[in-house]
Amino acid sequence: MTRSWIGLGANQGDPPATLSAALDHLDRAEEVSVSFVSPAWLTPAWGVTDQPDFLNAVAGLDTTLDARGLLALLLDVERRLGRRRDGRRWGPRVIDLDLLVHGETVLDEEELVVPHPHLAERAFVLVPLNALAPDLVVPGMGRVDELLAALDDSEIRSVRAAAPLEFQPVR
C-alpha cells in the first residue's frame, strides 16, 4: 500500500456534492481506500481569476496503484462527474482532481509529474494538507508545514474555511 495525497477542487454546478461524489467514487475503487479528508476551503480562482471561487479539499488515499494507475483513476472519476477537457488551463470546472504526492515517488514525465510541480506555491493545497499532515515530507520539496510557512501571508489569508464534506467511507 502506498499513501497518496490528492487535491480536489470545483467551482461549477454543486461543488460540495461533486467533491463528495469524487471521494465516494475513489473509495469504491477496489485499489483505493480514502483514509483522510480535509474540511473544504473556499479559495479565489488561480491562473484565470475572472470566475467563481473554488471549493478545495485534500484527501489521503491508501492505494495499491502506482502513480500512473492512480492518475488514470483520477481522470476516469473526473470524466464520470462531467469534466470535459477543452484545452483551456485554469478555467472554471465541475471537478479537478490532482495527484499531489504518491508515497516517495518522484516522476517527471510529459503526462505526469509527481510530486505536483506547483504544490509548494499554492495555499489552496497547502492549507488543507497542513490540517491533515503537517509533518509530511514532500519528496524534493520539504515538510508541508514549512512549505506553508514560506508562502506570503496574504495568499494564506485568501483561503477561507467552508465546511466539512459529506463523505462516509465505504470500508
| Chain segment 29-58, per-residue pLDDT in tens | 999 999 999 999 999 887 777 889 999 999
Q: How far apart are the first and last CA of the chain?
A: 16
In order, the DSSP letters of 2-54 are: EEEEEEEEE-SS-HHHHHHHHHHHHHHSTTEEEEEEPPPEEE--SSS-SSPPE
Identity at 73, one-letter amino acid code: L
Report domain 2-161's class: alpha beta
Q: 13 pLDDT band (50/70/90 cuts)? A: very high
| Chain segment 60-100, per-residue pLDDT in tens | 999 999 999 999 999 999 999 988 776 666 667 889 999 99
Structural domain boundaries in the chain: 2-161
In order, the DSSP letters of 116-161 are: -TTGGG-HHHHHHHHHH-TTPEETTTEEHHHHHHTS-HHHHHT-EE
Summary mean pLDDT of the chain: 92
Q: Which residues are designated catalytic?
A: 83, 93, 96, 98
Total-model pTM: 0.92
